[in-house]
Amino acid sequence: MILPLSSYRLRLPLSLSIAAVVTAFSMAAALGLQTLTNLREDQGRNALTLGYAMAGVQIQALRNDDVWLAYSLLRGPEGGGDAVWILLDQTGRIFASNRPRRFRLDQHIESALPWLPQAQPQVIDETPGRVSAVDRDEVRRLLRLPLYSDGSQVGELIALLSDAPYLPRFREILLGGVLVTGAILAILLPIGWLWGRRMVGPLVQLAECMGRVGREDPRRMQCPLPDGDSEIGRLGQQFAAMLSALAQKESLERQMIQAERLAAVGRVAAGVAHEVNNPLGGMLMAIDTYRRAHPVDAQTERLMDLLERALRQIQASVSALLVEARADLRTLTRDDLEDVKTLAQPNILKAQVSLTWENACGSAIHIPAAPVRQLLLNLVLNAVQAAQGGGHVEVRIRTQDNQLMMRIENSGRAIPPEQLMHLFEPYPASRPHTQGLGLWVCYQIVSQLGGTIRAETQGEITRFLVALPLAQESPA
Amino acid sequence: MSSPCSRRTFVSSLLATGFGLAGGRSDPVRASSQPLRFGLTPVVLDDRIGFLAAWADWIERQLGRPVVFVQRSRYREILDLLLQGRLDLAWICGYPFVRNLSRLDLIAVPRFRGRPLYQSYFIVGADSEIQRLHDLEGRLFAWADPDSNSGYLYPRFRLTSDGRDPDRFFRRTFFTWGHPRSVEAVAEGLADGAAVDSYVWETLARGHPELTAQTRVLERSPDFGFPPIVAGPALSEPDRQAIRRVLLSQVQEAGGRALLNELNLDSFSIETPDLYDDIARMAGRITGGEGA
């Protein structure tokens, strides 16, 4: 892919490389300049030493008019070396030089070097040799050494010092710098590239993840986020915290919506319940009256009990729809649970479903009987309906850790995840054909009992897990 | 003449020590005898210490007597030592020889290119615009040595013959104290022109062609007698005969021939002093020759 120049994946290794190059060149330049300074100092010192060493013989050469002696001395073993040497006689004419073609014998120095400052009238001083800086004709420094014999000046020795001899060394230093830089770059570039990727990778992840916020449900967003103690790691952690806060907010909102719906449904239910409760009360009273007025045989007695429990279930169901509805606080018994099995039996047969029923509860369970009966019946009927046509339903009930645990699972079509989310809503849009209030009422009951209910699917199996807290031993 | 007179820097290293090579050489036959003191003026051989040692060795073996080469930077110094008897013999220029004819005896004359003769060359820089001798007027000129024929006497005579004053013709002159140095001075641009010994120039051209290639021969003089080997007053007649015999026979012996070849000479021959009459005639007409 083509990365824009603004990408840190490019900028990081590039910055590293530029830093390396700048460093290497700065080092080379600093070394070079330092070397140059040292070399210049050495050159000046050497020239001065040489000038002093030659002075005596040059004075003699001047006195004896021995041009060759002066010349051969200036010429030295290597043609004079780096510096240009000029010997002037008393009248300022060139007597000898190691550049004889440039500085002709007998030529006046003023015509040879017009820029040369006029020699000041010298106070008689036996050691006025000095090196001063000039910058003309590639001459960088100038050594002027007046030659004295017996108190009077007989000539002057001039050395023109240039940087030319150092250029090759400079080139070497520069070449060295370039080579070192190249070597460093060869190492740094791949490292920088990898480092850049490592550093920038988490940022890219984060950026991608952030881009998804608002488009996806934060509760279900799967983001690989950077971790660790680095700044980016902290950023990732903060972002993860933000995501979870978002998810929390989302579910809170959903719960609020659910509560509002509950309230609306509750109001409807309250009206209905009021209408239902009156005749229901009459029917229960009629059964009661009948029992008191007539002796009943055993079969009639069982029928009466069944009728009464069914009527009370209706009463309790209606109560369950009402937030303020108060069911009877009769304590749940094992029979209540077994009743559910009996009550569901017709549906089970009709739906051709096999049932596994496992009730591991003791006789008395400290929890209101009516809502639990309603809850269990609803869930079992719901499961039977889902497993319709040769499916299987399994119910397991037990108490554990002071909780009543119920597990109802069925085979059949799996519930898609998006439906699973709206499962407990009343009259869910995704399931218009089902009885709308079933799971909604279950949810309500569980909520009122302070418990939890959740649905999960596992392959073909749909499972409802209910946990209801039991009241403390104090009998209601 | 000049050439051997003021030979050049080669020898300078030798000269610096003052003595040559033969010092420690002991003669197997007559170890106790006094060494033969042989004066040399700076010759082409200056950086040829090995050669001089070999030559001294060779003479020693022939002569049965140690030989010491003595070198000085000025021809005049060798001549003075010779005349004072502090040297037995010396290889000098024809010009001082003719001036001291009465006190010096001709031992042998080297033969160069088949003849005991040489010339004086006027040389200028190879790329110089100077085409004729008179173009050198107002220029810088290098003399070899005031006791040199080819490097001083002849060029002055040549200018005088043209009606020029050799002391005014050039803008500035100086002495290099050696023909090879004169060649260097012209090659390196120190002087615009110089007069040098043809033998030295040709020998340099053989051994250091890169040096002579920077010069160009402007004019050649007539032939003069080659710088001779002469005996001073200190050398006895038998010794003169002995050394003469040795030198004349050098060409007949293989080792001696190789040494002559190194010297770029054919042989040594015996000549009469009238070989140097031309130089004597010039010297008679030029008074300035005594200068320096």
* Residue labelled with tokens 């004053």: B165
Among the residue ranges A264-273, A353-362, B58-67, B272-281, the one predicted with the least confidence is A264-273
> How many Å apart are CA A327 and CA A275, to the nearest integer?
16
Q: Please report whether residue A380 resides in a domain.
A: yes
Position B28 scores a pLDDT of: 42
Question: CB of A65 within 8 Å of any CB in chain B?
Answer: yes
* Contact check, Cβ <8 Å, A68/B177: yes
Q: Do A179 and A269 have their domain in common?
A: no
Are the beta carbons of B266 and B114 closer than 8 angstroms? yes
Q: Do A42 and A179 have their domain in common?
A: yes
Mean pLDDT estimate for chain B: 85
Position A132 scores a pLDDT of: 64
* Contact check, Cβ <8 Å, A68/B9: no
Contacts 24+ apart (CB under 8 A), B189-192: B189/A100, B189/A101, B189/B125, B190/A67, B190/A71, B190/A100, B190/A105, B190/B140, B190/B142, B191/A105, B191/B140, B191/B141, B191/B142, B192/B124, B192/B125, B192/B128, B192/B130, B192/B136, B192/B139, B192/B140, B192/B141
Supply B272's token pair.
């009469």
Which of A269, A302, A326 finishes a domain? Answer: A326
Supply A5's token pair.
């120049």
User: Which residues, numbered 134 to 173 in chain A, qualify as contacts with chain B under a Cβ-Cβ cut-off of 8 Å?
Assistant: none
Give backbone dihedrals phi and psi of A423, rounded to 5 degrees, phi first. Answer: -60, -40
Chain segment A5-31, per-residue pLDDT in tens: 677 777 777 787 788 778 877 887 888
Q: Please report whether residue A230 resides in a domain.
A: no
Assess whether pLDDT exceeds 80 at residue A267: no
> How many Å apart are CA A191 and CA A65, to the nearest integer?
72
Task: Say which residues have a Cβ less than 8 Å from residue A308's Cβ, sequence separation at least 6.
Answer: A284, A287
Compare all CA atoms of chain A with the CA of B178 and give the residue at the minimum distance.
Answer: A68
pLDDT bucket at B168, cuts 50 / 70 / 90: very high
Strand order in the sheet with A354-359: A354-359, A392-400, A403-410, A461-469, A452-458
For testing the chain A interface, which of B136, B190, B210, B214 should be mutated: the one with the most A CBs within 10 Å?
B190
Mean pLDDT on A108-119: 79
In terms of Cβ atoms closer than 10 Å to its own Cβ (0-12, 13-18, 19+), residue A39 is middle
Position A171 scores a pLDDT of: 81
Q: Do A404 and A469 have their domain in common?
A: yes
Assess whether pLDDT exceeds 60 at residue A120: no
Assess whether pLDDT exceeds 80 at residue A130: no
Mean pLDDT on B30-53: 75
**Chain B residues with CB-CB distance to A89 below 8 A:** none
Supply B68's token pair.
């010491």
**Chain A residues with CB-CB distance to B176 below 8 A:** 68
Q: Do A86 and A140 have their domain in common?
A: yes
- Going A62 to A63 to A65 to A71, the CA torsion angle's sign is negative
> How many Å apart are CA A7 and CA A19, to the nearest integer?
18
* Contact check, Cβ <8 Å, B174/A68: yes
For testing the chain B interface, which of A57, A67, A73, A86 should be mutated: the one with the most B CBs within 10 Å?
A67
Chain segment B123-140, per-residue pLDDT in tens: 999 999 999 999 999 999
Chain segment B212-248, per-residue pLDDT in tens: 999 999 999 999 999 999 999 999 999 999 999 999 9
CATH number of the domain encompassing residue A368: 3.30.565.10
Position B27 scores a pLDDT of: 39
Mean pLDDT estimate for chain A: 79
- CA-based nearest distance B191→chain A, Å: 8
Compare all CA atoms of chain A with the CA of B143 and give the residue at the minimum distance.
Answer: A68
* Contact check, Cβ <8 Å, B174/A101: no
Q: Do A341 and A311 have their domain in common?
A: no
Nearest one of B6, B34, B140 to A104, comparing CA atoms: B140
In terms of Cβ atoms closer than 10 Å to its own Cβ (0-12, 13-18, 19+), residue A257 is exposed
Task: Count the domains in chain A.
Answer: 3
Q: Do A204 and A158 have their domain in common?
A: yes
**Using CB atoms, which residue from A65, A67, A100 is nearest to B188?**
A100
Chain segment B1-21, per-residue pLDDT in tens: 444 444 443 433 333 333 334
* Contact check, Cβ <8 Å, A105/B191: yes
* Contact check, Cβ <8 Å, A100/B172: no
Compare all CA atoms of chain A with the CA of B177 and give the residue at the minimum distance.
Answer: A68
Range of the domain at A279: 253-326
Note the CATH architecture for domain B9-116+226-285.
Answer: 3-Layer(aba) Sandwich (3.40)
Strands A331-333 and A403-410: unpaired
Among the residue ranges A69-83, A93-107, B46-60, the one predicted with the least confidence is A69-83
Nearest one of B83, B127, B76 to B233, comparing CA atoms: B83
**Using CB atoms, which residue from B172, B176, B190 is nearest to A100?**
B190
Q: Please report whether residue A229 resides in a domain.
A: no
Position B9 scores a pLDDT of: 38
Assess whether pLDDT exceeds 80 at residue A194: yes
Percent helix, strand and coil across chain B, each to the nearest 5: 45, 20, 35
pLDDT bucket at A125, cuts 50 / 70 / 90: very low
Are the beta carbons of B121 and B114 closer than 8 angstroms? no
Note the CATH architecture for domain B117-224.
Answer: 3-Layer(aba) Sandwich (3.40)
Compare all CA atoms of chain A with the CA of B8 and give the residue at the minimum distance.
Answer: A68
Chain segment A39-94, per-residue pLDDT in tens: 878 888 888 888 888 888 999 999 988 999 999 888 876 555 678 889 999 888 99
Among the residue ranges A168-177, A215-224, B198-207, the one predicted with the least confidence is A215-224
pLDDT bucket at A374, cuts 50 / 70 / 90: confident
Position A269 scores a pLDDT of: 67
For testing the chain A interface, which of B145, B174, B175, B186 should be mutated: the one with the most A CBs within 10 Å?
B174
Position A427 scores a pLDDT of: 57
Q: Do A43 and A160 have their domain in common?
A: yes
Mean pLDDT on A351-363: 86
Mean pLDDT on A430-459: 73
Mean pLDDT on A159-184: 80
Compare all CA atoms of chain B with the CA of A69 and give the residue at the minimum distance.
Answer: B176
Question: Where in chain B is CATH 3.40.190.10?
Answer: 9-116+226-285, 117-224
> What are the CA-CA distances from residue A33 to residues A47, A87, A132, A179 (Å)?
21, 31, 19, 18
Which of A326, A352, A373 finishes a domain? Answer: A326
* Contact check, Cβ <8 Å, A65/B174: yes
* Residue labelled with tokens 């290099």: B176
* Contact check, Cβ <8 Å, A68/B181: yes
Are the beta carbons of B147 and B77 closer than 8 angstroms? no
CB atoms within 10 A of CB A381: 19
Interface of B to A at Cβ within 8 Å reads: 9, 140, 142, 171-172, 174-177, 181, 185, 188-191
> How many Å apart are CA A361 and CA A251, to the nearest integer?
34
Q: Do A365 and A283 have their domain in common?
A: no
Assess whether pLDDT exceeds 50 at residue A143: yes
Question: CB of A67 within 8 Å of any CB in chain B?
Answer: yes
Q: Please report whether residue A247 resides in a domain.
A: no
Are the beta carbons of B24 and B67 closer than 8 angstroms? no
* Contact check, Cβ <8 Å, A106/B171: yes
* Contact check, Cβ <8 Å, A106/B181: no
Position B74 scores a pLDDT of: 87
Task: Say which residues have a Cβ less than 8 Å from residue A29's Cβ, sequence separation at least 6.
Answer: A177
Mean pLDDT on B117-121: 95
The residue type of A41 is E
Q: Please report whether residue A224 resides in a domain.
A: no
Q: Do A4 and A43 have their domain in common?
A: yes
Are the beta carbons of B45 and B207 closer than 8 angstroms? no
Q: Which residue has the higher pLDDT, A322 or A314?
A: A314
What value of ipTM does the predicted structure carry?
A: 0.81
Which of A200, A217, A234 finishes a domain? Answer: A217
Q: Do A84 and A168 have their domain in common?
A: yes
- CA-based nearest distance B127→chain A, Å: 12
Assess whether pLDDT exceeds 60 at residue A295: yes
**Chain B residues with CB-CB distance to A101 below 8 A:** 188-189
At B196, which helix (H) or strand (E)? strand B193-197
* Contact check, Cβ <8 Å, B172/A106: yes
Q: Give the max Cα distance, chain B.
A: 60
Q: Please report whether residue A245 resides in a domain.
A: no
Position A190 scores a pLDDT of: 82
Q: Do A299 and A394 have their domain in common?
A: no
Q: Do A378 and A420 have their domain in common?
A: yes
